């Protein structure tokens, strides 16, 4: 029996099938990753908007942002309550640092989060400049400050401005 002049059709169909399946798999994986990023971002937003712990951090930081006398007591703590307020303000900024890392690593959807909270993140970063400088500065006891404190948050805010 003579070979068919269309011997190449079957391998071509197989190749197209493999390419088509690979493309479909790639698009499905990409879509699922996008959905997972948005879900993680929404879960984060919902959690921070509704959990009492975050709300208490927000209340302290809002007071720090708006009340000059309270801001001074946080920056130069004299009492245990002042030290506790300082720690709560740093905890609030740490939340944004974690978000900045999540956005950079692609765990969170940076575009979505920026549309929802971009202004607030930048506002709170600017308000916390003295706290951030304090975290980075050498301590009165001679110990070294953490010069890498809030670098991710700073970079995120620079990108979003």
Sequence spans of domains, the chain: 39-160
Per-residue pLDDT of the chain (161 residues; tens, 9 = 90+): 677 777 788 888 889 899 999 998 999 998 898 888 888 888 888 888 889 999 999 999 999 999 999 999 999 999 999 999 999 999 999 999 999 999 999 999 999 999 989 999 999 999 999 999 999 998 888 888 888 999 999 999 999 98
Does this model's pTM top 0.85? My answer is: no
DSSP conformational letter for 108: S
Specify whether the CB–CB gap between 120 and 126 falls below 8 A.
Answer: no
Q: What is the DSSP string of 53-99?
A: HHHHHHHHHHHHHH-HHHHHHHHS--SHHHHHHHHHHHHHHHHHHHH
The pLDDT, as a whole number, for residue 46 is 85
- 125 CB contacts (<8 Å, ≥6 apart)? 93, 96, 132, 150, 153, 154, 157
User: How does 101-131 read in b/e, with b if 16+ C-beta sit within 10 Å?
Assistant: bbbeeebbbbebbbeebbeebbebbebbeeb
The pLDDT, as a whole number, for residue 58 is 95
The pLDDT, as a whole number, for residue 130 is 95
The 8 Å CB, 24+ separation contacts for 73-79 are: 74/131, 75/130, 75/131, 75/134
What would the two tokens of residue 89 be? Answer: 């303000």
The pLDDT, as a whole number, for residue 66 is 96
């Amino acid at each position: 029996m003579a070979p068919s002049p269309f011997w190449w059709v079957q391998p071509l169909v197989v190749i197209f099938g493999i390419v088509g399946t690979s493309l479909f798999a790639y698009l499905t994986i990409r879509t699922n990753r996008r959905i997972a990023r948005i879900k993680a971002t929404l879960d984060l937003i919902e959690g921070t908007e509704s959990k009492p712990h975050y709300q208490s951090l927000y209340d302290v930081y809002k007071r720090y942002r708006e009340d000059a006398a309270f801001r001074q007591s946080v920056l130069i703590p004299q009492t245990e309550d002042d030290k506790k307020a300082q720690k709560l303000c740093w905890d609030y900024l740490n939340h944004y640092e974690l978000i900045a890392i999540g956005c950079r690593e692609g765990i969170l959807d940076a575009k979505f989060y920026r549309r929802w909270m971009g202004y607030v993140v930048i506002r709170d970063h600017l308000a916390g400049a003295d706290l951030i400088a304090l975290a980075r500065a050498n301590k009165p006891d001679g110990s070294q400050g953490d010069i890498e404190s809030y670098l991710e948050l700073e970079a995120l805010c620079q990108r979003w401005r």
